[in-house]
């Protein structure tokens, strides 16, 4: 089956076409036939499409909205003979959508029905920036493909629905949870779940024996404590703002800072929240960039003090979280790095893992340095009590596989 995987944001659309079925899943032999993205939707958009084994095609064109973006993608898929095995839209058998917020309603992936769509709409108040764009993508795809092409929703929050109350409740008046559903939901769930799945497959162990800490370090960053195969704690909260230091997000801070900054800088609450989401984190500390690769280059080549500081604070926060999760879980078998930074930066992995030997976490510098990007590997010392590994994440693959499994369950 060819599955179209869609990730629709407010101003961007990312897609992949993945050929997979139950037998291919079993053999881990799924194939990515094409991928691409459209950015700056709503204006002069930047378009980038790549079919397997071919050079990337880049262009710019006005793209009005999510529906127009999807039509642009589908025109390319069906008109160019670039994508192997696909000559028209009829060659796409199902669609899998990434949906950011599933609230407490969606504990796993589901086939999209009118009722499911209403449920996703109900979660808009929890993710006002994300869910509306996801819904637009789903609605456009249903209109274009008709109801005979099954579509699935895979939620960023679903994997963390196993969190116990003690991890998901905030210490604020309980009625705010009851009335407004204010609690920790956690995000990047599809990524943490994929890493846990690969970990148990590589080690050939049952799901309930997976006791690991997973680090998704990309532009957004989060850490999850996975015990007996289930997520039992994670750093992002009601929104993706909480937890680790990220590209432009502050992560944890004293909530009193919001009013303080508001008073000192003459900003309203929305403006302060926007500042914490878009101008903080690595960008805020360094004053230079939210891009870790650039930051490392600045720190190493020009010795920029604030670039160094941003990196130091970023890694220190991760170490504190690892320590607290090791305590909360009564130890873990492994710490796994993933995401653009986690997968590609040996330097960050070194800085995160340093001075944790008391906890039984010891990196093998040579293995870390020679780890080949894109591969799965163990980078801890043989003597390390807690294994350290790198597993490249693949959320799109999991979305495609969930879609196939759901169709086969029907
Ligand atoms: P997103 O969260 O948008 O999916 P990615 O997972 O692609 O983002 O991660 C993007 C981050 O990964 C950026 O900060 C980028 O600089 C960083 N990154 C990618 N490659 C490297 C590298 N070799 N060294 C350090 N950082 C890297």
* Residues 236-246 pLDDT 10s: 999 999 999 99
Catalytic residue among 65, 114, 156, 333: 156
- Please answer whether residues 324 and 336 qualify as being in contact, where contact means their C-beta atoms are separated by less than 8 angstroms: no
pLDDT (0 to 100) of residue 408: 94
- For residue 341, the CA-to-ligand 1 centroid distance in Å is 4
pLDDT (0 to 100) of residue 106: 97
- Please answer whether residues 110 and 152 qualify as being in contact, where contact means their C-beta atoms are separated by less than 8 angstroms: yes
User: Ligand 1: which of 191, 248, 340, 371 to mutate, most ligand atoms within 8 Å of CB?
Assistant: 340
Average pLDDT, the chain: 96
Q: Which whole-number Å values give the CA distances from 283 to 276, 306, 327, 357, in the listed order?
A: 11, 10, 31, 31
Distance CA(234)–CA(155), nearest Å, equals 15
- pLDDT tens-digit series, residues 150-174: 999 999 999 999 999 999 999 999 9
Provide mean pLDDT across the span 80-91. Answer: 86
pLDDT (0 to 100) of residue 49: 96
* pLDDT top residue among 104 and 130: 104
Nearest CA to ligand 1 atom 19: 340
Distance CA(402)–CA(190), nearest Å, equals 10
Backbone angles phi, psi at 354, to 5 degrees: -70, 155
Provide the pLDDT confidence category of residue 82 given band limits of 50, 70 and 90. Answer: confident
Distance CA(74)–CA(5), nearest Å, equals 12
- For residue 254, the CA-to-ligand 1 centroid distance in Å is 27
Q: Which atom of ligand 1 is nearest to the CA of 294?
A: 16
- For residue 170, the CA-to-ligand 1 centroid distance in Å is 31
- Please answer whether residues 38 and 47 qualify as being in contact, where contact means their C-beta atoms are separated by less than 8 angstroms: yes
- For residue 217, the CA-to-ligand 1 centroid distance in Å is 8
Structure tokens at 78: 């069906």
Q: Which atom of ligand 1 is nearest to the CA of 220?
A: 2
User: SS3 letters for 140-190?
Assistant: HHHHHHCCCCCEEEEECCHHHHHCCHHHHCCCCCHHHHHHHCCCCCCCCHH
Taking alpha carbons only, the member of 150, 155, 177, 156 closest to residue 166 is: 177
- For residue 201, the CA-to-ligand 1 centroid distance in Å is 26
Query: Does the pLDDT value for residue 80 go beyond 80?
Result: no
Distance CA(354)–CA(356), nearest Å, equals 6
Nearest CA to ligand 1 atom 24: 345
- For residue 247, the CA-to-ligand 1 centroid distance in Å is 9
- pLDDT tens-digit series, residues 341-384: 999 999 999 999 999 999 999 999 999 999 999 999 999 999 99
Provide the pLDDT confidence category of residue 64 given band limits of 50, 70 and 90. Answer: very high
pLDDT (0 to 100) of residue 84: 86
Query: Does the pLDDT value for residue 410 go beyond 80?
Result: no
Distance CA(212)–CA(337), nearest Å, equals 11
Provide mean pLDDT across the span 109-118. Answer: 97
Provide mean pLDDT across the span 175-188. Answer: 97
User: Ligand 1: which of 218, 311, 342 to mutate, most ligand atoms within 8 Å of CB?
Assistant: 218
Q: Name the 3-class secondary structure at 41.
A: coil
The percent of residues above 90 in pLDDT, for the chain, comes to: 94
Provide the pLDDT confidence category of residue 10 given band limits of 50, 70 and 90. Answer: confident
Pocket of ligand 1 (CB under 6 A): 218-220, 247, 291-293, 296, 339-341, 344-345
- pLDDT tens-digit series, residues 391-405: 999 999 999 999 999
Q: Which atom of ligand 1 is nearest to the CA of 216?
A: 6
- For residue 270, the CA-to-ligand 1 centroid distance in Å is 28
Note the pTM of the prediction, 2 decimals: 0.95
pLDDT (0 to 100) of residue 71: 96
Indicate if 304 belongs to the active site: no
Nearest CA to ligand 1 atom 23: 344
DSSP annotation string for 254-290:
-THHHHHHHHHHT--HHHHHHHHHHS-HHHHHHSS-S
- For residue 374, the CA-to-ligand 1 centroid distance in Å is 13
User: Ligand 1: which of 293, 314, 349, 391 to mutate, most ligand atoms within 8 Å of CB?
Assistant: 293
CA within 13 Å, CB half, 227: 16
Nearest CA to ligand 1 atom 7: 340
Distance CA(212)–CA(199), nearest Å, equals 9
The CA angle 231-355-219, to the nearest 5 degrees, is 50
Provide mean pLDDT across the span 303-315. Answer: 97
The percent of residues above 70 in pLDDT, for the chain, comes to: 100
Looking at the DSSP bridge assignments, the partners of residue 38 are 13, 47
Distance CA(95)–CA(145), nearest Å, equals 9
Provide mean pLDDT across the span 305-325. Answer: 98
Query: Does the pLDDT value for residue 147 go beyond 80?
Result: yes
Query: Does the pLDDT value for residue 128 go beyond 90?
Result: no
User: Ligand 1: which of 292, 338, 368 to mutate, most ligand atoms within 8 Å of CB?
Assistant: 292
Residue 78: left if φ>0, alpha if ψ -120 to 50, beta else—which one? alpha
Nearest CA to ligand 1 atom 25: 293
């Amino acid at each position: 089956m060819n599955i179209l995987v869609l990730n629709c944001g407010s101003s961007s659309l990312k897609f992949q076409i993945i050929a997979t079925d139950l037998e291919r899943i079993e053999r881990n032999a799924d194939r990515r036939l094409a991928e691409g993205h459209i950015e700056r939707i709503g204006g002069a958009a930047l378009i980038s499409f790549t079919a397997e084994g071919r050079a990337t095609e880049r262009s710019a064109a006005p793209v009005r909205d999510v529906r127009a973006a999807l039509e642009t993608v589908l025109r390319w898929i069906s008109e160019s003979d670039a994508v192997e095995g696909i000559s028209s839209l009829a060659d796409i058998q199902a669609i899998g959508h990434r949906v950011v917020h599933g609230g407490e309603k969606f504990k796993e992936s589901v086939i999209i029905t009118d009722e499911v769509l209403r449920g996703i709409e109900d979660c808009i108040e929890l993710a006002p920036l994300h869910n509306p764009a996801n819904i637009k993508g789903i609605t456009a795809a249903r209109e274009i493909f008709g109801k005979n092409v099954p579509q699935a929703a895979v939620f960023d929050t679903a994997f963390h629905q196993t969190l116990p109350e003690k991890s998901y409740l905030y210490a604020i008046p309980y009625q705010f949870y009851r009335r407004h559903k204010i609690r920790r939901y956690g995000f990047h769930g599809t990524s943490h779940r994929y890493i846990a799945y690969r970990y148990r497959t590589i080690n050939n162990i049952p799901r309930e024996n997976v006791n690991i800490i997973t680090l998704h370090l990309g532009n957004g960053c989060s850490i999850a404590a996975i015990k007996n195969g289930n997520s039992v704690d994670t750093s992002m909260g009601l929104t993706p703002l909480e937890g680790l230091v990220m590209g432009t997000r502050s992560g944890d801070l004293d909530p009193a800072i919001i009013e303080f900054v508001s008073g000192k800088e003459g900003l309203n609450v929305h403006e302060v929240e926007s500042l914490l989401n878009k101008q903080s984190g690595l960008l805020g500390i360094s004053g230079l960039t939210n891009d870790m690769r650039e930051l490392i280059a600045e720190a190493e080549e020009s010795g920029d003090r604030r670039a160094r500081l941003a990196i130091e604070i970023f890694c220190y926060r991760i170490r504190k979280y690892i320590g607290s999760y090791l305590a909360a879980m009564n130890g873990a078998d492994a710490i796994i790095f993933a995401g653009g930074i986690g997968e590609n930066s040996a330097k960050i992995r070194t800085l995160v893992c340093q001075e944790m030997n008391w906890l039984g976490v010891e990196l093998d510098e040579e293995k870390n340095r020679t780890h080949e990007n894109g591969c799965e590997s163990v980078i801890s010392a043989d003597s390390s009590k807690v294994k350290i590994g790198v597993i490249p994440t693949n959320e799109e693959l999991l979305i495609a596989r969930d879609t196939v499994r759901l169709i086969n369950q029907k």
